[in-house]
């Protein structure tokens, strides 16, 4: 451990270690930063099972410490996990519960949220993970309020982050809480990244809601997607399905998990994303093409759903970005 006197940060090592996620923790908390003074973090890692342990990338590692180090940690970080369906050892869960009970903080990166959830530490709390795992976390641990959109969440000394790189955002936020904005900005500059990223996971989602099995409203869904420009009313949708309004609303909710207006807004956002990435047309034309009518309406719904403006989205994801949005 470094010759500092600050909080002891312990990263967990396991067979099948997510190398990038562990590297984030070691980079932020384990790198020597003499400019921060003697009160900076102490860092160590500990194996939760016998080694040598395999890590992503085709190499093996042997830890300096065993799980007993968890009992001394001020901050425990779970850098990913073996998989959403992989069991978490009971002994590890018990150690994590004891650590939290004595006042330690716990943080997870990406799939590491499944470890904290298995220990019962996320019950009744809002937590996030990679958007691809959000459904599995929600299904496996229904007592957890899963947030699939945020880059990170924190509550009651427990922190969770989204996909791998979002771990950097979370850990810099922890630095900010512990040592202030100047320290967080310094660490971010060393990493050559912003101290705070705008938007959440929504800008990276392939689709906001996965479609369910075929149903009586499936033909209508296909028709709506191919005619986003049209100003559909719920009555028109029900008539197209030859259903009463009450039956239609029930069947639509069963098929999509959303009311018609919310679902259609989501599809229009997806259509706008595709046109923004393609490039070549301005926001006025995109708004008309996907049924929002005006650029202001598109901007409003886009920022609400995606967390950033259409202009920012195009700048980040378009092959030939322009500033017309």
Q: Which of 266, 264, 260, 257 is nearest to 248 (CA)?
A: 260
Q: Return the pLDDT at 152.
A: 86
Sheet order of strands, 75-79 included: 42-47, 8-13, 75-79, 105-109, 158-161, 152-155
Chain centroid, CA 224 distance in Å = 29
Q: What is the token pair recorded at 270?
A: 């997806």
Distance, in Å, from the CA atom of 292 to the CA atom of 269, rounded to the nearest integer, reads: 9
Q: Return the pLDDT at 308.
A: 81
**Can 110 be counted among the known catalytic residues?**
yes
Q: Return the pLDDT at 322.
A: 45
Q: Return the pLDDT at 22.
A: 96
Q: Return the pLDDT at 306.
A: 81
Question: Could you tell me where the beta strands, DSSP code E, fall in 110-263?
Answer: 126-127, 145-146, 152-155, 158-161
Q: Which domains does the chain have, with CATH numbers?
A: 8-203 (3.40.50.880), 218-317 (1.10.10.60)
Chain centroid, CA 245 distance in Å = 37
Q: Return the pLDDT at 139.
A: 94
Query: pLDDT digit string (tens) for 246-258?
Result: 999 998 988 887 8
DSSP track, 14-38: -TTB-HHHHHHHIIIIIS--GGG-T
Q: What is the token pair recorded at 59?
A: 């190499």
**Catalytic one of 18, 46, 110, 241:** 110
> Within the chain, what is the greatest distance between any pair of CA atoms?
74
Indicate the pairing of strand 59-61 with strand 145-146: unpaired
Q: Which of 18, 69, 27, 23 is nearest to 175 (CA)?
A: 27
pLDDT under 50: residue ranges of the chain: 205, 208-213, 321-325
Q: Which of 143, 152, 90 is nearest to 121 (CA)?
A: 143
């Amino acid at each position: 451990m470094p010759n500092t006197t600050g909080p002891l940060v312990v990263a967990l090592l396991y067979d099948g270690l997510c190398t990038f996620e562990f590297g984030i923790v070691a980079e932020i908390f384990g790198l020597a930063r003499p400019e921060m003074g003697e009160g900076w973090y102490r860092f160590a890692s500990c194996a939760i099972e016998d080694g040598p342990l395999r890590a992503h990338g085709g190499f093996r590692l042997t830890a300096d410490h065993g799980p007993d180090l968890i009992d001394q940690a001020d901050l425990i970080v779970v850098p990913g996990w073996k998989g959403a369906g992989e069991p978490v050892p009971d002994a590890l869960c018990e150690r994590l519960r004891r650590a939290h009970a004595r006042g330690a903080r716990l943080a997870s990166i990406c799939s590491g949220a499944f470890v904290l959830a298995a220990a019962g530490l996320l019950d009744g709390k809002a937590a996030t993970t990679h958007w691809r795992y959000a459904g599995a976390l929600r299904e496996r641990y229904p007592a957890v309020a899963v947030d699939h959109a945020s880059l990170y969440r924190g509550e009651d000394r427990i922190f969770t982050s989204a996909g791998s790189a979002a771990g950097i955002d979370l850990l810099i936020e922890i630095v900010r809480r512990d040592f202030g904005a100047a320290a967080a900005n310094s660490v971010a500059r060393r990493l050559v990244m912003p101290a705070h990223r705008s938007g959440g996971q929504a800008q990276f989602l392939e689709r906001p809601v996965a479609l369910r099995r075929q149903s009586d409203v499936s033909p209508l869904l296909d028709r709506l997607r191919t005619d986003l420009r049209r100003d559909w009313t719920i009555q028109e949708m029900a008539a197209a399905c030859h259903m009463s309004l009450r039956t239609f609303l029930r069947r639509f909710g069963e098929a999509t998990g959303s009311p018609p207006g919310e679902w259609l807004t989501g599809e229009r956002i997806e259509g706008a994303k595709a046109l923004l990435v393609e490039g070549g047309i301005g926001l006025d034309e995109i708004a008309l093409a996907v049924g929002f009518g005006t650029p202001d309406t598109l901007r409003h719904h886009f920022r609400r759903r995606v967390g950033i403006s259409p202009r920012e989205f195009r700048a980040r994801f378009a092959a030939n970005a322009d500033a017309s949005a």
